[in-house]
A = this chain, B = another copy of it.
Amino acid sequence: MLKLTRKTEYALIALSHMQRFTPKNLISTKELAKLYQLPVELLAKTLQQLAQAEILEAVKGAYGGYKIKTPLEQINMTEFFEVLEGEVGLTDCHTNTDCSQKNLCNIKTPMQKINKKMRTFFDEISLKEVVGN
């Protein structure tokens, strides 16, 4: 349980590769997909999201591609996850005003505490740590 989605996994694999092998140079989606046998289209979207979040720098056009823009030590896992998936937390009591439980819910306050703890947990892990090298 609490598994990452493929998209996030693909992102980590891509970042790990860039970090190790092409930190200064561009690498294209196609190339990455081939290297790690990932579905090109999905990887493409993932990298686009990372570019929007300025984790990657995108260079369009022929001979374009991506490279790491923000040093991975400066990005924590909460931020990273939230670029690709929604808000980090075991529930979305906080955000979601129209929780079906409404006033019946008896675990709201404790869940909010755990969610906070969890965010802190992932805040303290940098992307660099996860991506290795």
A residues with CB within 8 A of B: 1-5, 8-9, 12-13, 16-17, 20, 35-37, 81-82, 84-92, 100-101, 104-107, 109-111, 113-114, 117-118, 121, 125, 129-132
Closest beta carbon of chain B to A86's beta carbon, Å: 5
Copies of this protein chain in the complex: 2
Kindly report which residue of chain B lies nearest to residue A19, judged by CB atoms: B106
Kindly report which residue of chain B lies nearest to residue A130, judged by CB atoms: B110
Q: A12: which B residues are within 8 A, CB to CB?
A: 107, 111
Assess the A89–B130 pair: CB atoms within 8 A.
no
Closest beta carbon of chain B to A23's beta carbon, Å: 14
**A85–B90 Cα gap in the complex (Å)?**
13
